[in-house]
Amino acid sequence: MSQQKKYLLGFWVLCLIIFCRLLILTIVYFTVHHFSAPANDLSRVNIFSIYELVVLAIFFLQAMTYWSLRYSIINKNWVKAHVWLIFFAMIILPFFMWLGLIVAPNYLSLKQITVFRLWSANIRFYFGWVLIIIAHIFFSLTLVKFFNAKRLDAIHENSADVLEEFSN
């Protein structure tokens, strides 16, 4: 059996996503704590932090999965689709929405800004979740293909032994 080249794109992109999300979480956390006085607003931050920590834990587990599969990834295009869709949904899409919210007050009235914020939040939410679901379909396909190939290798190895038993 030939040694396959290691494939670490999935691991490194997920590490980049984890780093960016930690940076965003830190900025949001310190901004909210610096500018908010009422205690009831901090409960929302704690719930937000728990959600973000769960998301970061999931990304960490996926990165560790790609690290452990680095020599035996069957279809590298599925890994690329998974990590780049996640990167787009979790980093690029929020960045463009944030940029739009910064630029919008220069060109829109107060009523239009309210509608724009609601519209952009809905787009980010629904489009982001669609991308995440599609990305995790590719992640699931990668895992299924890996375990299916592993099982088929075991069947082929065992079938050769069974035939040798009857050859004598």
pLDDT digits over 4-14, tens only? Answer: 678 899 999 99
pLDDT in tens, 58-75: 999 999 999 998 888 888
- Polymer length in residues for the chain: 168
Question: What is d(CA 145, CA 143) in angstroms, rounded to the nearest whole number?
Answer: 5
Domain ranges in the chain are: 9-166
User: Could you tell me which of 14, 31, 25 has the C-alpha nearest to residue 53?
Assistant: 25
CB 32 within 8 Å of CB 45:
yes
Q: Is the pTM of this model over 0.75?
A: yes
